[in-house]
Amino acid sequence: MAGYFSSFSAFLTRAGIPPAAAIVAALLVLLGISRAVHSVLESSYASRWDQVSEEQCRANLSLAISRFTKEQRSLKRLVEDLAASPELHAYFLNKGNDRTPLFERLAQVSRDEDVGIDVYDAGGDLVAWDGPGGPVTRADRARALLGHTFTYVERTPVSSVLMVGVPLRTDDTVRGIGVIRRTIDSNAPLNNPLLRQEAVDEQLSREIGTTVEFSFAGESETVNDSRFLSGPMYGLDSTFLGTVSVLRPVRSAFFESLGGVFSKIDAFLSILLLVCVAWALWRSMAFLRSFTQVALLVTALVWIIRYALLFLDVPSGFLSGGIFDPGLFASKFGFGLAKSIGELTITTVAVSLNVALVIRLRLRRPPHALPPARLPFAVRVIASVGATLILFWVLRGYAAAIRSGVFDSALTYFDARVLVPSPGLVFMVLNLFLLGSCTIVAAITLALAVVRWCTEGERGKITGWLMAGGLFAVAGIGFGMLQETPLMSPWYRLLFGAGVLLAARGYDALTVAGDRTALRRFLLLILAASVVALYPLLDDFVHEKDRGRVEVFAAEELKPVDGWLKHVVEEALQGFESDDYRNRLSEGDAADVAGIAFERWSSSLACSQGYDAMFTVIDPTGRQASRFVIGSSIAGMTEADAAIPLGSGQIILVRNFGTGVNALKVYAGSMPILGQDSMLLGHVRVVVAAGQHALFRGETPAILRGSSESRLESFYRRVTLSEYTDGVLLTSNNPLVPIARPLPESVNEAFVDSSRTSLWAEEEIDGDRYETYFVRRGPAGIVSLGLKELGATWHIVGIVKLAALWAIVALLLIAWWRIVQWRRGIPYRMTFRDRLLLALLVTAIVPLTFVAFYARVYEGEQQMETLEQRLDEETQGLIYTITDRPEQGVTVPAFPDSPLKAEELASDIGTDFNIYTDNQLRVSSRPTLYDVGILDSRLSGNVYAKIVLGGRRFVIQTEKIGSVEYSVGYRPVLDANQNIIGVVSVPTLFRSEESEEQAARRNALLLGTYAAVLLLVIAIAAAFAGRIAAPVQRLTEATRKVARGDLDVHVPHAGAEGEISELIRAFDQMTHDLRKSREDLVRYERELAWKEMAKQVAHEIKNPLTPMRLSIQHLRRTYQDGAEHFGEILDSVTKTVIEQIDTLSRIASEFSHFARMPRRNLDRLNVGGVVGEAVRLFSQESSVVFRIDISEGTPPVIADREELRRAVINIIRNGIQAMDGAGSIVIRGGPEGGGVGLSVTDYGKGVPADMIGKLFMPNFSTKTDGMGLGLAIVKKTMEDLHGTVTLKSEEGKGTTVTLWFPASDAEGTGAA
Amino acid sequence: MRMLTPLAILVALVSTLPAGAASAPRERVPGGKMEIREVFDDVQRGISQGNVAIFSPHLHSQVRVTLHGGETGLYSANQAYYLLENFFRERTPVSFKFTTFGESDNTPYGTGSASFTFHGVRQHVQVYVALAPHGGRWVITQINIY
């Protein structure tokens, strides 16, 4: 692929087309093609719609039938695999053996494949089973024993179950039958965890993209609806099983769907186009010189792309669930920028990218550029005040984002029950963190600007900081007054302002010092600060929301509900008026009609909201044809149900039971169901009951509700609801509130004011603090809704969870950054302290993790043991209760003979239970789920094997319905002769809320403890690592100084012990010796240099002296000879002498320069600036053209300004001389090899190759008038700066001299 | 001394704030049946046209929402807006009219039947909308399309 791209790119380059333009053109062409194809397809489908519709529908039908057949074959294969299993062989070949292994095998198959499975022997008797099952007819068993496979579908009120019976053969002999069952169709739209398993028809509907319905009620029930295309389904034995119906494509929906596909393609191409255009713009930004212009363009680009995505509905148009679900979070901010967590995440990334790009641009700006022009005083004043207000406005925006994150969401931020947060919560919290970091960065930038504007010159810096502090303090207090809802306390604003000022001061100090490591740490500090900034606001808003919801509940509590509950009943009644129910009632199939009540309930508002309900269908003769009851208010509902008359129209009746918070409102309604020609098909009655404290949310357990969103209604703190009359407690749902407890005094006094309707107050109940909302109800009644105050542990858990999330993301970001650096060739080098800290943390955290893991396992085991013990005791207690006392002479257990009695008994002993006799459910205190077939009424095979076959006295096992797992305790019931006459079971299915509460407490305690230990470990490890590594770090720093030539270092011994102390002493001794050796060497070198110098000076002086001597001698001789042209000769000789004296003077001057060792004044220099200064000196050279190209991002170098300028002047002068005073000099500079490169190129004569090596030697010159010291001085200068100088030359073409300076941060100041 | 001027300006600015705060409008008692009717009219128009924006200004800060085949629970007005918008994006309204209005103890409500086309198939749902007084006006506290 890359090869093709390269070839294509090369082709474009050859053709002279810019790649970006080609890609944009290609995308535009693709967009055009997409539109054209869409248009052609649309018109083509429209013109032959009937044919297209029929073809697609038949294809879908064929797929559905084949899928159903495949399902049967897969079930058959499971039984055949079972037939080949050793357990089955062992049992059949040696019949009479223990069946326990067979049961275990079936349990495994049942669990793994989510099927029910029965095994019959050759006599047709059931010998082993597991999972849901039911009877098989004698005829079918006989047929299977003759070697035939049979298939049929069994219907229950909630589902249809595919059943396949297969002969079990060993050695080609039929030894028995295997019957396997799997749910293939859900008859109820109930959407709760119990039925979350997706049925085959649902899977097919999803895969095909249209409605697929199975009908197994017989041939006569073939769907007679023109909107569907139906086909028969046959079993493996060719028996007709039913029909499958596929919804014909609806024309409008089909074209809508087609348009949706193409709009997605268009959106994708448009996004690519946009990215290309943005990239091209980004690349062409080089022409913009001003930082402000570039920053504005970058910002505009980022936000144009963001809004373009929003406009194209990308990615929300592609992804609708998960974090893009507005049910989780949605805010109207920014015209949809935060309409879901997913969109908010994209917006947050845009904000962060914008900030990061602007910071990057700012950092790449040359640091020694001229300072901006000083603004007029008045402008600075206004700018300071404006920037301060903007800073607090930005802070308010951040607070508003957090508030929206809490109030516009269904997320629970501090739920201790949850250890691993949901993706929605993770994304939301990370968004808030990132926004916090960006806010802090923006605030620091504004603070620095304010300080700059407040500063008058260098000496006024302190005043500037103080002025900025004053401005922040006043604005921090005053800003809230500008807002009707300031969203945060003045204390928060003040602390934030102070923190920002401190951070700005730190940043300022670090940038002056140029310590990049410290700057990076500063960035990490900002990320950490975002946690600190987030938590108080988040905690405040969560608390505020809790209170708000309590107030909403209180309002609902006191509000009459006539309208709502009446609507719930009406909705339930009107739902019966569907053609489906009418058809079924008119057909009169008793088994089919029996499921209607449950089906209607499961799709009603009553189910969705979790109300206690009773749905009844009565046939025209007045007989009850179908009934479904759920909830604990059975007595009240039965009374209301009996009271409602059956009339010719809809009737609604209201009954009230009890008083106060125990008051129960019961709404009952009835309605006739009329068929064609107004023939009466029957009546329906619906009763809905709601307690006062459950008006808008039902009381049935969450798992029995129609809504899977029960979490939306839940508080992570339980609400204590109490009612007071005349200042004394009447009733409460919290047993810890004492009977006849008086209303708190302060509340009582507050309600003396008759105009007061409600107030919040704190109270103490059983040693715990509560914040409670008291509301007046009637003249003497007060209702209170109390929330238990969260302890420190809860807060720790909350903070730890947030911090852990952020830490994980920060680590990922750091890892990403390291990878980027590594790819740039900058490896990460861990310091000794880092390694030590890492080692200590690993040493501490690994065992801690093990301990935590095993503690959790142990805790889980303990919990399981407790549960086992509890279920053991409860099953024993149950048997004890149902068995008459021996002393009374009766020892035969008496089982309850009706669900009502079972319910009463369950109420007495405080636990739900089931009783099995002959492996079938005899009675249950919660029969609803058995009645509708959600729970299997047969005794679990595994329990049978262990109790009946294995003789165990108690068994506990985990069972599963849908996605709900729960534990059940089983115990045999024995008669006087110790024979098993039944089995009792106690399930924990209905105690999930209690379990969640326990989990919350455990998580809070465990997590809080481990969090505290972890924090302590990190703090101790950091302290130890710092203390141990400090002497090594000092030693390392000293070594660096020595490497730079500074031998006057001394390493303090403080904190160093043992080997490290020895090392430091040895190091000090070594530096002392080195110092001494260097002094000797310097002395020797100096002497040598003086000798060389003397020799050189003598040599140089001798050269002009000879011509002078010769000239003077010549003058003298001509004078003595009385020469005729003595005047001319005098003139010539004196000219020569003067020239030689000038030469001597120049020699003296150059030696003076070379020998002089002035004290260097090192500074961070902008190379461009120095070059400019040097070039200006040659301004009189009108025949020379200078071209200067210094990159904008060139970092500063450390050098002596005068020395560097002299070096550059020398090189330029050489260049001009090489060009005989006319031509071009090109000077280039920029980052190079981790430092800075500066090259000067002339286009003169060049230097012969054999001379290049000698050019930097003192006294070597290609010129007649020079001393050959210019380049030697340049070389010496660069060597002193730890840089290099190189020369490249080509005779006749020119010469380039390149200076290279090390990076300023690596060099420090050691070059002095 | 010159740099004290920004402080003086800020102090002067802050000192004017209480006057602004004092001028905040007082909460008024909501109007009678006319205003209630206007809210229900907006809801009826909004549902009939599948346009949430028509009645979204009337949503209370916390709205109890139940949608057919969708979400159910207590949501903020912003969430309710987008949930309803998504609901109507998938469904084309055919008809809707309030058939019953009721009021009891300052909590008016309206119910009616609505029809939508969902993926080409017509659906019939029951609508329940309840109002409550808040901030001097009538706001929607509950909306059920089920």
- Per residue in A749-766, pLDDT tens? 888 888 888 899 999 888
pLDDT number for residue B18: 37
Tell me the C-alpha distance between A811 and A941, whole Å: 50
Tell me the C-alpha distance between A652 and A415, whole Å: 42
Beta-bridge mates of residue A32: none
CA–CA distance from A115 to each of A498, A916, A960, A967 (Å)?
65, 22, 12, 19
Tell me the C-alpha distance between A168 and A182, whole Å: 19
Instruction: Enumerate the H helices of A483-578 as residue ranges.
Output: 490-513, 516-558, 562-574
Residues of chain A with Cβ-Cβ distance to B102 below 8 Å are 562-563
Confidence of residue A110 (pLDDT cuts 50, 70, 90): confident
The answer to whether position B17 is within a domain reads: no
Per-residue pLDDT of chain B (146 residues; tens, 9 = 90+): 444 555 555 454 444 433 333 344 444 556 678 889 999 999 999 999 999 999 999 999 989 888 887 777 889 999 999 999 989 988 888 899 998 888 766 678 899 989 988 876 778 888 999 998 888 889 999 999 98
Tell me the C-alpha distance between A79 and A164, whole Å: 9
What is the β-pairing status of strands A768-777 and A781-788?
antiparallel
Query: Hey, how many other C-beta atoms are within 10 angstroms of the C-beta on A740?
Result: 7
Rg of chain A on CA atoms, in Å: 46
Give A674→chain B minimum CA distance, Å. 19
Question: How many domains is chain B built from?
Answer: 1
Choose between A109 and A284: higher pLDDT: A109
Phi-psi region of A1292 (alpha: psi -120 to 50; beta: other; left: phi over 0): left
Chain A residue nearest residue B2, CA to CA: A377
DSSP type of residue A649: S
Q: Beginning with the edge strand found earlier in the chain, give each strand of the sheet holding A1284-1290 in spatial order.
A: A1184-1190, A1223-1232, A1235-1242, A1294-1302, A1284-1290
Identical fold, A544-710 and A1159-1307: no
Helix axes A49-83, A200-208, angle to 10 degrees: 140
Instruction: Enumerate the H helices of A84-99 as residue ranges.
Output: 86-93
Choose among B61, B78, B144: nearest Cβ to A331.
B78
Helix axes A1270-1280, A1126-1155, angle to 10 degrees: 10
- The candidate with the shortest Cα–Cα distance to A632, out of A698, A711, A563, A571, is A698
For residue A820, is pLDDT > 60?
yes
Tens-place pLDDT, residues A1121-1141: 887 788 888 888 888 888 888
Residues of chain B with Cβ-Cβ distance to A477 below 8 Å are 14
Q: Do A481 and B5 touch (CB under 8 A)?
A: no
Chain length of chain B: 146
The answer to whether position B10 is within a domain reads: no
Tell me the C-alpha distance between A872 and A878, whole Å: 10
Least confident of A562-566, A603-607, A1297-1301, B9-13: B9-13
For residue A627, is pLDDT > 80?
yes
Percent of chain A with pLDDT over 70: 85
What is the β-pairing status of strands A719-725 and A728-732?
antiparallel
Taking the Cβ of residue B99 and every Cβ of chain A, the question of whether any pair is shorter than 8 Å is answered with no
- Say whether A800 sits in a helix, a strand or coil: helix
CATH number for the segment(s) A544-710: 3.30.450
pLDDT number for residue A289: 61
Backbone phi, then psi, for B25, in 5-degree steps?
A: -70, 145
The CATH number given to whatever domain includes residue B64 is 3.10.450.50
Q: Do A320 and B86 touch (CB under 8 A)?
A: yes
Confidence of residue A705 (pLDDT cuts 50, 70, 90): very low
Burial of A1293 (0-12, 13-18, 19+ CB in 10 A): exposed
Mean of pLDDT values over A101-129: 88
Q: Do B72 and A707 touch (CB under 8 A)?
A: yes
For residue A358, is pLDDT > 60?
yes
pLDDT number for residue A217: 61
The answer to whether position B70 is within a domain reads: yes
Q: Which sequence spans correspond to the domains of chain A?
A: 50-249, 544-710, 718-789, 1058-1145, 1159-1307
Q: What is the dihedral of CA A692, A698, A699, A704, to 10 degrees?
A: 170
Chain A residue nearest residue B142, CA to CA: A564
Tell me the C-alpha distance between A935 and A958, whole Å: 14
Contact criterion met (CB below 8 Å) for A126 and A138: no
Looking at every residue in chain A, the average pLDDT score rounds to 80
User: Which of A225, A341, A567, A665 to mutate to test binding with chain B, by most B CBs within 10 Å of its CB?
Assistant: A567
Domain range A1159-1307, CATH class:
alpha beta
For residue A541, is pLDDT > 50?
yes
Beta-bridge mates of residue A341: none
Tens-place pLDDT, residues A37-91: 999 999 999 898 888 888 888 998 999 899 889 989 999 999 988 888 888 888 8
Burial of A1155 (0-12, 13-18, 19+ CB in 10 A): exposed
Percent of chain A with pLDDT over 90: 12
- Say whether A976 sits in a helix, a strand or coil: coil
pLDDT number for residue A695: 40
pLDDT number for residue A972: 92
The answer to whether position B9 is within a domain reads: no
Tell me the C-alpha distance between A223 and A243, whole Å: 8
Choose between A414 and B115: higher pLDDT: B115
Confidence of residue A525 (pLDDT cuts 50, 70, 90): confident
- The candidate with the shortest Cα–Cα distance to A656, out of A647, A643, A646, is A643
DSSP type of residue B96: E
For residue A556, is pLDDT > 90?
no
Instruction: Enumerate the H helices of A1177-1281 as residue ranges.
Output: 1201-1218, 1249-1252, 1270-1280
For residue B109, what are the domain limits? 29-145
Residues of chain B with Cβ-Cβ distance to A316 below 8 Å are none
Distance of CA B6 to the CA centre of its chain: 44
Distance of CA A326 to the CA centre of its chain: 17
Instruction: Enumerate the H helices of A780-831 as residue ranges.
Output: 792-823
Contact criterion met (CB below 8 Å) for A1190 and A1136: no
Tell me the C-alpha distance between A35 and A266, whole Å: 8
Could you say which architecture CATH assigns to the domain A50-249? 2-Layer Sandwich (3.30)
pLDDT number for residue A581: 87
For residue A368, is pLDDT > 50?
no
pLDDT number for residue A369: 41
- The candidate with the shortest Cα–Cα distance to A406, out of A345, A496, A328, A344, is A328
The answer to whether position B4 is within a domain reads: no
- Say whether A163 sits in a helix, a strand or coil: strand
**Is residue A86 reached through a cis peptide bond, with omega within 30 degrees of 0 on the bond before it?**
no
- The candidate with the shortest Cα–Cα distance to A89, out of A168, A152, A36, A32, is A168
Sequence letter at residue A495: L
pLDDT number for residue A557: 66
Q: Do B3 and A340 touch (CB under 8 A)?
A: no
Write out the two tokens for B98: 């309030």
List, as ranges, residues 744-803 from A with C-beta within 8 Å of B: none
Tell me the C-alpha distance between A1259 and A176, whole Å: 113
Tens-place pLDDT, residues A900-942: 788 778 877 778 889 998 888 888 887 777 776 777 888 988 8
- Say whether A158 sits in a helix, a strand or coil: coil
Q: Do A327 and B144 touch (CB under 8 A)?
A: no
Tens-place pLDDT, residues A669-684: 999 998 877 888 999 9
Could you say which architecture CATH assigns to the domain A718-789? 2-Layer Sandwich (3.30)
Tens-place pLDDT, residues A173-188: 888 899 998 887 766 5
Contact criterion met (CB below 8 Å) for A961 and A935: yes
Taking the Cβ of residue A56 and every Cβ of chain B, the question of whether any pair is shorter than 8 Å is answered with no
Taking the Cβ of residue B135 and every Cβ of chain A, the question of whether any pair is shorter than 8 Å is answered with no
Least confident of A664-668, A1146-1150, A1246-1250, B142-146: A1146-1150
Chain A residue nearest residue B125, CA to CA: A571
Tell me the C-alpha distance between A301 and A354, whole Å: 9
Choose between A294 and A539: higher pLDDT: A539
* H-run or E-run covering A242: strand A240-247
pLDDT number for residue A458: 54
Residues of chain A with Cβ-Cβ distance to B79 below 8 Å are 326-327, 329-330, 408-410
Mean of pLDDT values over A234-259: 84
Contact criterion met (CB below 8 Å) for A633 and A612: yes
